[in-house]
């Protein structure tokens, strides 16, 4: 990929990505601080420190593969976004496994159990 994308396309992509990142940072930091209300100062310091300790090496890694195109930046955004998505799903699955047992009403017809909100098709696989 030797060609650079047009500036308008790259700027359009960034105009979508950066507000989304800003929205996520605020909300995820608030969720992380929720159980730390009684020690909010220490919690904010820990979250800020961990955020920096994780983001600096990732930024150095992404900058190290810069080849004069926007491909490393877009790839870094995509891979880091997927990593965050999977870590949120993993954390929610561990912290609240009952959420993973509930089957949406729209697919209840697939399950032929006595209780239509829980099926007999091995819902336990979501807990492993």
Distance CA 51, CA 45 (A): 10
What's the predicted TM-score (pTM) here? 0.61
Give the confidence band of 2 by pLDDT, cuts at 50, 70, 90.
low
Distance CA 4, CA 74 (A): 12
What pLDDT sits at residue 102?
60
Mean pLDDT on 18-44? 85
**Tokens of residue 100, six digits:** 């993973």
- Mean pLDDT of all residues belonging to the chain: 78
Residue with tokens 């195109």: 69
Residue 95 has pLDDT above 80, yes or no: no
Residue 83 has pLDDT above 80, yes or no: yes
Distance CA 21, CA 2 (A): 28
Q: What percent of the chain has pLDDT over 70?
A: 73
Mean pLDDT on 3-10? 85
Among candidate residues 96, 79, 78, the one with its CA nearest the CA of residue 31: 96
Q: Which of 12-21, 31-40, 118-127 has the highest mean pLDDT?
A: 12-21
**Tokens of residue 28, six digits:** 């995820």
What pLDDT sits at residue 120?
44
Domain chopping of the chain, boundaries: 7-94, 96-128
50 or 102: which carries more pLDDT confidence?
Answer: 50
Distance CA 71, CA 4 (A): 9
What pLDDT sits at residue 121?
45
CB of 62 closer than 8 Å to CB of 73 = yes
Q: What is the DSSP string of 50-88?
A: HHHHHHHHHHHHHHHT--SSSHHHHHHHHHHHHHHHHHH
Instruction: Determine the distance from the C-alpha atom of residue 67 to the mean position of all C-alpha atoms in its chain, rounded to a whole number.
Output: 27
């Amino acid at each position: 990929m030797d060609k650079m994308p047009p500036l308008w396309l790259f700027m359009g992509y960034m105009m979508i990505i950066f507000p989304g990142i800003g929205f996520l940072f605020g909300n995820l930091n608030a969720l992380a601080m929720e159980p730390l209300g009684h020690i909010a100062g220490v919690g904010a310091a820990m979250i800020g420190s961990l955020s920096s300790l994780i983001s600096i090496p990732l930024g150095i890694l992404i900058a190290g593969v810069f080849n004069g195109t926007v491909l490393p930046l877009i790839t870094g955004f995509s891979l880091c976004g997927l990593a965050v998505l999977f870590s949120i799903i993993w954390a929610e699955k561990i912290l609240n496994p009952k959420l993973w047992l509930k089957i949406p009403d729209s697919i209840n017809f697939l399950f032929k159990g006595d209780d239509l909100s829980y099926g007999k098709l091995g819902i336990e696989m979501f807990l492993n």
